[in-house]
Amino acid sequence: MPFTLVEIRCDMMCGVGPDGRRRGWIQVHVHPDALRRLGLHPDQPTAAVVGPSPPGWWHAAAERHAQM
């Protein structure tokens, strides 16, 4: 795991949605220094998209493989 226990926090919340059904939400917080170490902090140039999006077939194949 690229993060230590003090660099990441997960909050879980639950409640009733607008349709009356119970819902659950998870919110993940990561310390900015941990993101910088991986080149993912928004202030770093490596965090920005620099090229075109992959073709549509790539997305479809990724979704198929994710469900297996």
Taking the C-alpha atoms of residue 58 and residue 68, their distance in angstroms, rounded to an integer, is 16
Q: What is the pTM of this model?
A: 0.53
User: Number of H helices and number of E strands within the chain?
Assistant: 2, 2
The string of pLDDT tens digits covering residues 3-44 is 888 999 999 999 998 999 999 999 999 998 888 888 887 777
pLDDT at position 1 is 60
Cα 10 to Cα 1: distance, rounded to the nearest angstrom: 15
- What are the extents of the domains in the chain? 8-66
